[in-house]
Structure 1
Amino acid sequence: AGYIWAFVATGATLWWITKPTIPGFIAILFYLPIFGALYAWLHYKISFRSETLAIVLSPIILVGIEYLRSFGKLGFPWMNLSYTQTCYPVLIQFADIVGNYGVSLWVAAINSCLYFIIRKPLSKGAIFSAIVLLALFLTAFLYGKSRMRKPIEGVPVDVGVIQSNIDPYKKWAGDFKRINAKLHADMIKAASGHAALVIAPETATACYHKLAPSIFSVFKSATVEAGVYLLVGTLDFDPEKRENYFNSAILISPDGKIIGNYYKIQLVPFGEQVPFQDRYPFLRKINFGGSHFSAGKEYTLFKFEPSEGRIVDFSAMICYESAFSWLARRFRNKGADFLVNITNDGWFGKTPGPYQHAMFNVMRAIENRVWIVRSANTGVSMIVDPYGRVVRQTRLFERCMLFFTINATYEKTVYDRIGDIFGFVGFMFCVPLSFWAAFQKRNA
């Protein structure tokens, strides 16, 4: 029953993945419900001893399983409970302490309280649950209101965001690549005098920049003419191991030189790679309708000079890397003064997918108290402040640019220091609990 429930929930939430890859969606549809089944199994075993205890422990179990679901090459934290609250930033400001798993625990605890209240409205347990629920809500709300009164300080940085709105199915065609390059070049030039750093979407070059110098030179020339720094998505490969190719972001200086590059670390399972393909090369032959990228290993810190004498550092998250709290935290602790998210969500059409994807950045901004600038090929592009407020946002499938002055911030949060401890503790709680449940089954 737990697997069926999770199967339906996964399909209802992620059906839009069928747009670019039906095989990939089927793989995820059958894989992710395993975690829902594990949660249901543990809850079921505990409820034999005490239904009340099962409800009390369910938030801890849920958070532990969310943490497990985010591990490794199969990691897919898209449906974490915490992300249901990203439309209400004032309620989740405490994520700067507890991270997204702590917020998931909070949401689940509130639901457990509601269960006790609804089940026996006039009982002592219901009254106690109502008090706990009120305390949970008011603590989060009052902390959020207080925290959001603090002014945002830091070195000002003028940024420009390109939303080029190129059909992702068309831009890779040989005769269209120059049109794509010219369109991006015009938008880069339009940023002259308005931005120190321009951000273009994931794979905006529509080429392997080392193999198509004539195409790539269009981007570099536009950068020089505009007198800006350009962060642009492209494809790259390892010259020594040609089978290793990467989803990449590179930084171009105002004199047209490449001064930094980042290879995407957390690849989409069954979309950008078949998990464990590096260890078992035969897996590269399996076609889920996606790619076979290799994962990067370096947590790149891009450095640039937005104004004379001031050096600012930032890091880039490519595509759904923004769903991983540990990655943004790693960049922040390495020294990133703000974060960038580049993506191409055009594959998903006018579906909930691009909106779900965009809102991860709200949680990352709050956890790390950092500005996040997002460039999406067809939308949703946005700029999010350190309180998770979306200060600029585009619509889907419009060609446009955003300009805004953000701040390079240096505040380190409690979450930056302690990390995903709530998820880890929940996971460590689930490990012995699973052994206990298995033992109970053998003796049933």
Structure 2
Amino acid sequence: MRQNYLLALGSAIILWLGWPPIPYSSPLLFMGFVPLLYAIERIMRGEYTRKGKKIFWLAFLTGFIWNTASIYWVYNAMSAYLPGYVAILIALIPFGLAPLLMATVFRAYYQLRKKTSIWYSFIGLVSCWLGYEFLHQCWDLAFPWMTLGNGFANFHQLIQWYSYTGIFGGSVWIWGANILLFMLVWQIREKIEAINNNLLALSLVVWSILPIAISLVIYYNYIEHINPSHVVVVQPNVDPYGKLRNIPPQEQLEDLVRLSESVAQPNTEFFIWPETAISASGGIDENEFRSYPAYERTVQFLNKYKNGNVLSGIESHQLYTFPKTPTAREVVPGRFFDPFNAAVLIDQSSKLQFYHKSKLVPGVEQMPFGGALAFMKPLFAHFGGSTGGYGSQDKPSVFYTRSGIGAAPVICYESIWGNYVTGYIKQGAQFIAIVTNDGWWGDTSGKDQHLQYAKLRAIENRRWVARSANTGISAFINQRGDIVQKTSWWQPNALAQEINLNEELTFYTRYGDLILFLALVGGVFSVFLLFSSKKKQKTPVFPNT
């Protein structure tokens, strides 16, 4: 078994090296699972006992090391100000849960191999893998950071066809290459040729190269429709931990105004300020926001810009006389309080538009599985979030200016969900404004990965992305996914850019994750095979083993 564990470790290392933010390393993902598949094949063909259990833990080892090496910053962020046991507890969500799900997928693959051919087993493997990735997008412990299709974010020139398939197309592409390469390697190593090796090699080349060729043609021939709008993004660099640069809300607002004015033009239409940029002691009551000094100062600032709008993150809340939402809690008899991580659009009229973050961070902004984990509220309270959970809205909404421009207010974590961001575009958003605070992670790869993933949203929807991050990295990304401008880490700054608004809908925006539907069909087919097929007879022929 030692050699099998070394092969599993090899898979983890290759997958980690192919993951963002390491530049141009994404093609390594085409071979990342090959050592693990080889080790699993050795176990299935060997004289081992409890083969299913061994395969499960091999796959868990690969997933655990790959995930931990790629997103170590999760623990880094939490351990900076949480007790060690609390930080470990929350970090187990991505570090331990995802590998367990991954291992379950491979365990199902083994069960299929015992009952059906290797081809049907591979269909089941890929279908179950996409099912795991979909689960990690939609349940209470959602953490789609490690969705396999995200791995090409650092080499976006090769995945322009995501505007048709989204990131799940990338997951299928990577798995297809791994399966073909594994079959070729196994046959050469074992000196068998159940399938012609030349045919396998040709299939691998076509499967890998054809999408790249198509992507490069799209990339170099894509021309944006000229529809300019002048936008400013601001990076105030406020220390989220309050250790180095913690300033009062009013002083923070003046910094935002000063940085905005340093690059603004008379025709600037949007000033994008980061997550929770506007705040006040005790938060801001949305119904009374016009009476706050922060609102008056922002409107005063906008008086210099005829068509100017401020799109900003805001710490807000609403007060009710009865609990309108599941997250509202009674603060005094007959008075209920609901906090929000929100965005607001402010212009020179009296109209205000609010958006309440929908995709909340498990254990930080929401309590997973509601009352079932209520006993853990004291632990999650240490994170600085609300023990009752933040309020949210069910679906995205678009901010519209008086001139009719639609902006998608995407708050931090939400930018990882391709299917969620398309909801803004379908409602008329002409560009994507991401407001975030990546300072929680420190100077780690987390901030770089988060920036790279924003490129995927630009490609999927063919929309510019204007990204304002409190402590970096702020950036402008064009419709091809190119980072046109970006700031440095931990430096107050502001960027100005003339972007092109777009109203056309891509195939992916219109029809969403069709590949997931196909995976569901494949998953149902696999379950049918598991419960209907008799155990097949052992045979030395590779495709039917």
1:36 pairs with one of 102, 118, 127: 102
Q: State the alpha-carbon separation in 1 of the partners of residues 517 and 142 from structure 2.
A: 15
What's the CA shift string for 1:94-153, capped at 9, x where partnerless?
111111111110111111122122222484443223222222233212222222213100
2:205 pairs with one of 125, 131, 134: 134
* 2:468 alignment counterpart: 375
- The one-letter amino acid of 1:357's match is H
* 2:488 alignment counterpart: 395
Alpha-carbon offset, residue 441 of structure 1: 12
- The one-letter amino acid of 1:11's match is T
* 2:309 alignment counterpart: 229
CA gap of 1:135–1:333, structure 2 versus 1, over 3 A, is same
**Secondary structure, aligned partner of 1:159:** strand
Q: State the alpha-carbon separation in 2 of the partners of residues 376 and 215 from structure 1.
A: 20
* 2:75 alignment counterpart: 18
Q: State the alpha-carbon separation in 2 of the partners of residues 351 and 156 from structure 1.
A: 34
* 1:73 alignment counterpart: 140
- The one-letter amino acid of 1:221's match is Q
Matches within 5 A, 1:112-261: 112-121=179-188, 123=193, 124-148=195-219, 149-170=221-242, 176-190=248-262, 191-193=264-266, 195-207=268-280, 208-210=283-285, 213-227=292-306, 228-240=308-320, 241=328, 242-253=336-347, 255=348, 257-261=350-354
Alpha-carbon offset, residue 219 of structure 1: 3.3
Q: State the alpha-carbon separation in 2 of the partners of residues 423 and 60 from structure 1.
A: 8
Contact 2:77/2:442 (8 A) holds in 1: no
**1 or 2 for the larger relative contact order (CA 8 Å, sep ≥6)?**
1
- The one-letter amino acid of 1:346's match is G
Q: Structure 1: which 5+ runs fail to align? A: none
Q: State the alpha-carbon separation in 1 of the partners of residues 209 and 521 from structure 2.
A: 29
What's the CA shift string for 1:11-49, capped at 9, x where partnerless?
222211123321421343232223212211112212334
Alpha-carbon offset, residue 300 of structure 1: 1.5
- The one-letter amino acid of 2:314's match is T
Aligned residues: 438
1:426 pairs with one of 497, 519, 528: 519
1:297 pairs with one of 375, 385, 394: 394
Q: State the alpha-carbon separation in 2 of the partners of residues 296 and 78 from structure 1.
A: 22
CA gap of 1:275–1:432, structure 2 versus 1, over 3 A, is farther
Contact 1:67/1:101 (8 A) holds in 2: no
Q: State the alpha-carbon separation in 1 of the partners of residues 473 and 261 from structure 2.
A: 22
TM-score, scaled relative to structure 1: 0.90
CA gap of 1:257–1:158, structure 2 versus 1, over 3 A, is same
Q: State the alpha-carbon separation in 2 of the partners of residues 267 and 293 from structure 1.
A: 8
**Secondary structure, aligned partner of 1:78:** helix
Alpha-carbon offset, residue 53 of structure 1: 4.6
CA gap of 1:198–1:432, structure 2 versus 1, over 3 A, is same
Alpha-carbon offset, residue 422 of structure 1: 0.6
Deviates most, 95-104 or 222-231:
222-231
Deviates most, 412-421 or 234-243:
234-243
Q: State the alpha-carbon separation in 2 of the partners of residues 8 and 435 from structure 1.
A: 33
Q: State the alpha-carbon separation in 2 of the partners of residues 376 and 194 from structure 1.
A: 23
Q: State the alpha-carbon separation in 1 of the partners of residues 391 and 229 from structure 2.
A: 33
- The one-letter amino acid of 1:78's match is W
CA gap of 1:167–1:378, structure 2 versus 1, over 3 A, is same
Q: Structure 2: which 5+ runs fail to align? A: 1-56, 79-86, 321-327, 329-335, 537-545
**Percent identical residues:** 25
Max Rg structure? 2
Matches within 5 A, 1:398-417: 398-417=491-510
Contact 1:303/1:314 (8 A) holds in 2: yes
Matches within 5 A, 1:257-336: 257-277=350-370, 284-287=377-380, 289-290=382-383, 291=385, 292-305=389-402, 310-336=403-429
Alpha-carbon offset, residue 258 of structure 1: 4.7
- The one-letter amino acid of 1:223's match is L
Q: State the alpha-carbon separation in 2 of the partners of residues 404 and 269 from structure 1.
A: 34
Contact 2:228/2:499 (8 A) holds in 1: yes
What's the CA shift string for 1:258-278, capped at 9, x where partnerless?
531110011111222112338
Contact 1:63/1:423 (8 A) holds in 2: yes
The yes-or-no answer on 1:46 pairing with 2:112 is: yes
CA gap of 1:143–1:174, structure 2 versus 1, over 3 A, is closer
What's the CA shift string for 1:242-293, capped at 9, x where partnerless?
442111000111x264531110011111222112338986664552643131
Deviates most, 255-264 or 169-178:
169-178
Contact 2:279/2:316 (8 A) holds in 1: no
Contact 2:222/2:480 (8 A) holds in 1: no
- The one-letter amino acid of 1:155's match is N
**Secondary structure, aligned partner of 2:500:** strand
Contact 1:231/1:250 (8 A) holds in 2: yes
Contact 1:158/1:406 (8 A) holds in 2: yes
What's the CA shift string for 1:212-251, capped at 9, x where partnerless?
8234443343233455211110112121144421110001
What's the CA shift string for 1:306-338, capped at 9, x where partnerless?
xxxx52111111011011011111111111111
The yes-or-no answer on 1:346 pairing with 2:439 is: yes
Alignment root-mean-square deviation, CA: 2.9
**Secondary structure, aligned partner of 1:86:** helix
CA gap of 1:52–1:431, structure 2 versus 1, over 3 A, is closer
Q: State the alpha-carbon separation in 2 of the partners of residues 158 and 54 from structure 1.
A: 53
Q: State the alpha-carbon separation in 1 of the partners of residues 225 and 376 from structure 2.
A: 49
TM-score, scaled relative to structure 2: 0.74
**Secondary structure, aligned partner of 2:62:** helix
